[in-house]
Structure 1
Amino acid sequence: MRQHVFVVEDDPNIRDIVKAYLQKEGFQVSLVDNAEEAWEKTKLDQPDMWILDIMLPGMDGYELCKKIRQVSEVPIIIISAKDEEVDKILGLELGSDDYLTKPFSPRELVARIKRLFKRAEQMNIAAAKKEQGQELVVGDLKIDEGGRVVYWHGEEIDVTSKEFEMLEIFTKNPNRAFSREELLDLVWGNDYFGSDRAVDDLIKRLRKKLDGLEVETVWGYGYRLRHEVEGSE
């Protein structure tokens, strides 16, 4: 079955170019020029990936991204004429997987789509290999890898996919310091093009959600999850 890419873009020229390139690569493509119609259509037909423009009439791409993430973890690429760092960070905060600035090369978009599909496939394979119910425990933090559920002081905490991956890395490597670059590679992929500020922002959100979690800042380097074993000196 062909992978289905849903493109939400109000510029007809960009829509047509993107459709031509993606169909040439064998993807099934759906085109919509506004977020409201896209949201309604996907209630019946969920795509395998979203390509979202930010500046749309009515609901913007950020709001649509947020709504998608409430019901699905499929890859999302945001495209926009904006090139401010804050816009990229905001897009990643809301759950997008990549960000492309206009004007962009259609070939680069295709390459990023293929990369995200490959990464999603690898993650699915890795998840399938994990035993259901396997748990990681560090102090009051417990992670059910099979169910992808996080517990803090016995209470289930809602986390995004990237927040889960970050916690999983820390719980498997307590007390180890990770550089921001390492965390970017491990969570976003080694061909992620954005700023390492995305790591700082994700850590900030985890500290807020898991109040008291001892994720320490290693100044000028990165972060580590502090865990002292009882009885150790």
Structure 2
Amino acid sequence: MKVLATAIASLSLVVSLAVHAEQKPMPMPDDVRKVAPALEKYTQDRLLGEVWKRPGLSARDRSIVTLAALIARNQTIEMPYYLDRALDEGVEPREISEIVTHLAFYSGWSNAMAAAAVAKDVFARRGIGPDQLPQASPPLLPLDEAAEAQRAERVGQQFGRTAPGVVQYTTEILFRDLWLRPDLAPRDRSLVTVSALIAAGQVAQIPYHLGRAMDNGLSQAQAAEVLAHLAFYVGWPNVFSALPVAKDVFEKRAH
């Protein structure tokens, strides 16, 4: 048994080293220039030099939006750079932890696990320990009982007979637990959700969550700037698919 355990441990080490050997760092400007000089110029001049400096959204918010998009699309190669940038722009480690956890439900468990693996190395390098992370089961924020009852009734009537398990977990886990975790402000949690939905092209879910984001304090001007920012990170087609939906939400709220 000891020999078998040693062999398994050795194999695990080999696999781990192979995985890390295959991982590539984020391309440096010189590397990009050797392949696509125009892309490197757009990156430096437009994306980093202009978009990130637009006044409609804080650098902290832009970091949250970008991380949500990368996690939603399972794009890990640039994640270390943007995790560092988020921490430098004031996003707390506990908030990054909550973003990863939140997106397990909105972008899938595997995407969140991949992001956690990247964040682990960034946290270790920066000396971020367990004392800076949220509790697994903290005291929850107060629940708006009336609003949640209306949401649960509406969803139950629509889908209770179609998929009772989905309806049950939506109420029990998402809206009576996940959304009430205190280490990510409701506005920021909404910002993460809306960004992930746009990144994934999930336009049918945007009206509810964009409305909720604005109820939680995201202004229309900020929401519009999220769209402009995401065009560079998730592509113009995904953003243009979201534009009619956002326009409809804005117009309905105006009336």
Task: Give the TM-score normalised by the residue count of structure 2.
Answer: 0.25
Structure with the larger RCO, 1 or 2 (CA within 8 Å, 6+ apart): 2
Task: Give the TM-score normalised by the residue count of structure 1.
Answer: 0.27
Question: Which structure dedicates a bigger proportion of its chain to helix?
Answer: 2
